[in-house]
Structure 1
Amino acid sequence: MDSANQVWNVCAPITTQGRSVSVEKIVNGMKHAKAEGADTVEVRLDCITNFHPLHDLKIILQNKPLPVLIAYRPKWEGGLYEGDESMGLEALQLAVELGADFIEVELKAASWFASLVEHKRNHNSYGKIIVSCYVDDITLPGEELQLVARLQATGADIIKLVTHAADITEVIRIFSWFPYCQVPLIAYSSGERGLISQLLSPKFGGFFVYGTLAGNSIPGIPSLESLKEAYKLERVNEDTKVFGLISKPVSHSKGPILHNPSFIHVNYNGIYVPMFVDDLKKFFSTYPSPYFSGFSVGIPYKEEVLKFCDEVHPLAQSIGAVNTIIRRPGDGKLVGYNTDCEAAITAIEDALIEHDCNDGGATLGSPLAGRLFVLVGAGGAGKALAFGAKSRGARLVIFDNDFDRAKSLACAVSGEVQPYKELINFQPEKGAILANATPVGMHPNTDRISVAEATLGDYWLVFDAVYTPRRTKLLKEADAAGAITVSGIEMFLRQAIGQFNLFTGLEGTIFIFSFFQVCTYIF
């Protein structure tokens, strides 16, 4: 299919700022891009090592397996090209002659545009001309729309406006540009906080979504692999309901590659996106209904987010932490829930029951009843574990680097609190349960555990809420010491089933089936 006739397509940058590459690598990169699911590739001529226009463009365009976008960014516009402007124009004219599918010209080099249009006409070229503008400092209301109008006034086939997002709340401006465009628009914010501008582009009518090749990570640009395996943006339209993970950091989350395939499996028109949020108040005041239909809430916001909910489920209220928010249809109110509590406790219980059954024993009531439950971390996940353990009759000892927070939680669950510095020396009674509800051991700092290795053999079971990596150092050491181990994956899956039910109103059994289809890919 001619990509110019598609509503949108996935464009893979083969060359990127600061990385000089050979023509041979570009040709190989184009082949990899096709294999990874790209529809179009972008080649920056200013990034080619010892660029020779006629020779190099012939090789690139005669060997293209996909439509090619040719760009030549001068240094004054953030590129690498420092030569004479006429030479840059000549290179783009050659690209027109040799069959480039898209030619990108900077708005500041608008004088090139008329020459390219004439050159295109003279050579009967079908290539589309993109006029682009890259800005970092748009601050005045309406300034963006003025830029959109200037871009359209050039007469370009396609226009492109790129900003840099210092905060995720800045991305909402991009979504408002599309209704004003009379020609196809490529628009996004760069940087990790701008990621949703790419993922939601098809919903608002964007022409390109950019995706990176394996091993060529660019902040704010999703990988081709994730676009293909998780997001499947060809399903996204203006009616798609948007759900997102509010967290800081957010890149570690496996939620998108669990929820999105599950939406697809049950034919639910939804998309789940990661959102790097710096300020909850600013975020919720910026994105009113109907932008998002619901949220997952991660580190460090599970407690703070309660004050932004219009209503909170009684369990979540008693725990003092919310990990799921639904925007209620009809009145649009935000309702907070906690699916972490049952997820974590049932994961631990099931592991104990399975072990008892394998040993020929039988369990009456909860296997946690009467056991010492040593909890490390009194944040959102820790609170869910504490209330769950208390509900099963466990005795709690709580450690947290914020002693007052640990003390408050201990009072709420009739438990004991000890200073965090004493954890390394704490000697548990035989048969105790250890639960880590802190980020200690999470990628990329995977070589740490919070307890003394020598004490791990005294625990009957060790649970780690961290699930990246799948087998944390804590779990490996506990396993070697002979303890039953439960990965955070178990909690992650179970809480996600609860979220899926709340997001869609569908039964989680279908979601479980979908999980097993994708869990090998995730972990």
Structure 2
Amino acid sequence: MGSNQLESNGSIKICVPLTTQQSVDEIVNGMHEAKAQGAHIVELRLHCITNFHPRRDLQIILSNKPLPLLIVFRPKWEGDEKMRLEALQLAMELGADFIDVEFKAATRFLSLVGNKRNSKIIVSWYVDGVTPPKEELLQLIALMEATGADIIKLVTHAANITEITTIFSLLPYSRQVPLIAYSVGERGLISQLLSPKFGGFFVYGSLAGNPIPGLPFLDTLREAYKLEHVNAKTKVFGLISKPVSHSKGPILHNPSFRHINYNGIYVPMLVDDLKEFFSTYPNPDFTGFSVGIPYKEEVLRFCDEVHPLAQSIGAVNTIIRRPRDGKLVGHNTDCEASITAIEDELIKHGCDEGGASLGSPLAGRLFVLVGAGGAGKALGFGAKNRGARVVIFDIDFERAKSLACAVCGEAQPYENLANFQPEKGAILANATPIGMHPNTDRIPVAEATLGDYQLVFDAVYTPRRTRLLKEADAAGAITVSGVEMFLRQAIAQFNLFTGLDAPEEFMREIVLSKF
């Protein structure tokens, strides 16, 4: 497997900040919980301690620390500077492992402590607004290095995922002292997950039950990502979507990469603009992408080549960067995944009714499709290719008509769906986000009509058993979860991503235990 073989870098440290207003006892408990969840370092923000008394509280905290402790004390108001810096000096004297002081106060603090450093000094700079150009950030890094810091820290707030490439480009330039550089917010998440690849010093995570926007949970870092195996040779795969937080891809693909000893990482990518994204991420290390809502159709414009099936469907859910020339090639693994999941369930229940002799148990059936977007197109083309008669409903009637024309089906206005009466043996397939977490209480059709369908399929897989599937099951219909479609399309994606055979049974076990 050569350079794609999994290795361990063993050097990355995971730091968890304790950010909420807490008592000293709660902080001590939080430090021990952080250790139990897999943290290597705890960041304590003194301005978050309730009724903070420096000497009393720091003695208790530092005498009970189970892990190396990073102390931060941000100013709350003008005039508290002397007390603040003295508290940081006291923390150093009492055994804090790291002291974080912002750049504007660094010179004064370092002159206060002199050469009596019992702690590593982190000099930090928090950039407001849009991430500045690389040249400007390099100037900031040089200024921070000049203070005499042991470590420097640069934090931005990403308004767009394209800003993160600037963060990655900085990491190799810090040769004098180690650099912590990342971006906060959901769009900045990959600056944490990919930090070990580009040479970052720390990765930040959050405690279970205490989420911090843009930071992955410690258990996710430990179980799904295992960042100790991420290094400069790691190939990056990601889900391009908006929203993206619902994705289960990382907890399926990452363990599967490791299972076959493949050096890859799969990360969520919240993308706002496809054109800007693809022009910013041409790096060959970004080897492949899954494509989710709402980009499965639009993304065709950014592929250099499109597989004939995906071209005929008009939707791409998988992109690979071809190694020999770097071109982006679009595929559709949704189509076969969804249709075979439906077919197999019909066969399992003995519902082929002669259709199997025509090549598919869907042959001749009425296939009622709700949603004519990317997933809907895959289902529509798959059903048509199996000989089904397709009726399409979409809130955008023109889009429904366009798909109906492409699959020789029928489009009906969305408002007709509530009273639509299917014939015996019909299939219902939901290809909309209706019912997806967190809005789980909705279904796309009238509940009273569910008993008229022989099988109900829901492309939504978060939650695993949607309200639509629960109601359909209660009405006596066969049900097929989007989880089955997700698994099958992910197996096909894995094969395309790696050029290797996916560990299918292993992946199925993950889905059954984790979803």
* TM-score, normalisation: structure 2: 0.95
Q: What is the deviation of 1:362?
A: 9.8
Give the Cα separation in 2 of the matches to 1:6 and 1:451: 52
Q: Is the 8 A contact 2:464 2:481 kept in 1?
A: yes
1:78 corresponds to: none
Matched, 1:462 2:456: yes
**Structure 1 residue identity aligned to 2:70:** L
Q: Is the 8 A contact 1:377 1:436 kept in 2?
A: yes
1:98 corresponds to: 94
Q: Is the 8 A contact 2:238 2:269 kept in 1?
A: yes
1:62 corresponds to: 63
Q: 1:13 aligns with which of 17, 34, 40?
A: 17
Give RMSD over aligned pairs: 1.7
Matched, 1:118 2:110: no
**Deviation string, structure 1 residues 478-506 (Cα, Å, up to 9, x no partner):** 00000000000000000000000000111
Q: What is the deviation of 1:151?
A: 1.0
**Structure 2 residue identity aligned to 1:66:** L
Q: What is the deviation of 1:83?
A: 5.3
Q: Which secondary structure does the structure 1 equivalent of 2:215 belong to?
A: coil
Q: Which secondary structure does the structure 2 equivalent of 1:176 belong to?
A: helix
Give the Cα separation in 2 of the matches to 1:39 and 1:318: 51
Q: How many residues align?
A: 504
Q: Which secondary structure does the structure 2 equivalent of 1:41 belong to?
A: strand
Q: What is the deviation of 1:289?
A: 2.5
The structure-2 alpha-carbon separation of the partners of 1:515 and 1:90, relative to structure 1 and needing over 3 Å to count, comes to same
* Structure with larger RCO (C-alpha < 8 A, sep 6+): 2
Q: Is the 8 A contact 2:10 2:229 kept in 1?
A: no
Matched, 1:316 2:317: no
Matched, 1:202 2:196: yes
1:163 corresponds to: 156
Q: What is the deviation of 1:513?
A: 2.5
Give the Cα separation in 2 of the matches to 1:389 and 1:362: 13
**Deviation string, structure 1 residues 385-440 (Cα, Å, up to 9, x no partner):** 01110111100000001111110100111001000111111111111000000000
**Structure 1 residue identity aligned to 2:166:** R
Q: Which secondary structure does the structure 2 equivalent of 1:11 belong to?
A: strand
1:476 corresponds to: 470
Give the Cα separation in 1 of the matches to 2:385 and 2:353: 26
The structure-2 alpha-carbon separation of the partners of 1:284 and 1:154, relative to structure 1 and needing over 3 Å to count, comes to same
Give the Cα separation in 2 of the matches to 1:46 and 1:382: 51
Matched, 1:502 2:509: no
After TM superposition, the structure 1 = structure 2 runs for residues 40-439 of structure 1, keeping only pairs within 5 Å, are: 40-75=41-76, 84-115=80-111, 117-118=113-114, 120-121=116-117, 125=118, 127-137=119-129, 138-140=131-133, 142-182=135-175, 183-356=177-350, 363-364=356-357, 365-439=359-433
Give the Cα separation in 1 of the matches to 2:65 and 2:485: 46
Give the Cα separation in 2 of the matches to 1:316 and 1:277: 21
Q: Which secondary structure does the structure 1 equivalent of 2:213 belong to?
A: coil
Q: What is the deviation of 1:360?
A: 11
Q: What is the deviation of 1:443?
A: 0.6
Give the Cα separation in 2 of the matches to 1:307 and 1:429: 39
**Deviation string, structure 1 residues 322-341 (Cα, Å, up to 9, x no partner):** 00000000200000000000
Segment of structure 1 superposing worse, 315-324 or 179-188:
179-188
The structure-2 alpha-carbon separation of the partners of 1:234 and 1:453, relative to structure 1 and needing over 3 Å to count, comes to same
**Structure 1 residue identity aligned to 2:43:** E
**Deviation string, structure 1 residues 169-224 (Cα, Å, up to 9, x no partner):** 01110011112102111111111001000000000111110000011111111110
Q: Which runs of 5+ in 1 are unaligned?
A: 76-80
Q: Which secondary structure does the structure 1 equivalent of 2:286 belong to?
A: coil
Q: What is the deviation of 1:152?
A: 1.0
Q: What is the deviation of 1:116?
A: 5.4
Q: What is the deviation of 1:115?
A: 3.3
Q: Which secondary structure does the structure 1 equivalent of 2:99 belong to?
A: strand
* TM-score, normalisation: structure 1: 0.94
Q: What is the deviation of 1:30?
A: 0.7
Q: Is the 8 A contact 2:133 2:166 kept in 1?
A: no
Q: Which runs of 5+ in 2 are unaligned?
A: 1-8
Give the Cα separation in 2 of the matches to 1:290 and 1:29: 41
Q: Which secondary structure does the structure 1 equivalent of 2:114 belong to?
A: helix
Give the Cα separation in 1 of the matches to 2:355 and 2:293: 37
Q: What is the deviation of 1:8?
A: 2.4
Q: What is the deviation of 1:520?
A: 4.3
Q: What is the deviation of 1:7?
A: 3.2
**Deviation string, structure 1 residues 85-109 (Cα, Å, up to 9, x no partner):** 1111111111111111111010011
**Deviation string, structure 1 residues 11-49 (Cα, Å, up to 9, x no partner):** 0011x2xx3111111111111111111110000001100
Q: Which secondary structure does the structure 2 equivalent of 1:350 belong to?
A: helix
Q: What is the deviation of 1:522?
A: 2.4
Q: What is the deviation of 1:119?
A: 6.0
Matched, 1:453 2:447: yes
**Structure 2 residue identity aligned to 1:68:** L
**Structure 2 residue identity aligned to 1:55:** R
**Structure 2 residue identity aligned to 1:248:** K
Give the Cα separation in 2 of the matches to 1:153 and 1:6: 29
1:39 corresponds to: 40
Q: Which secondary structure does the structure 2 equivalent of 1:252 belong to?
A: coil
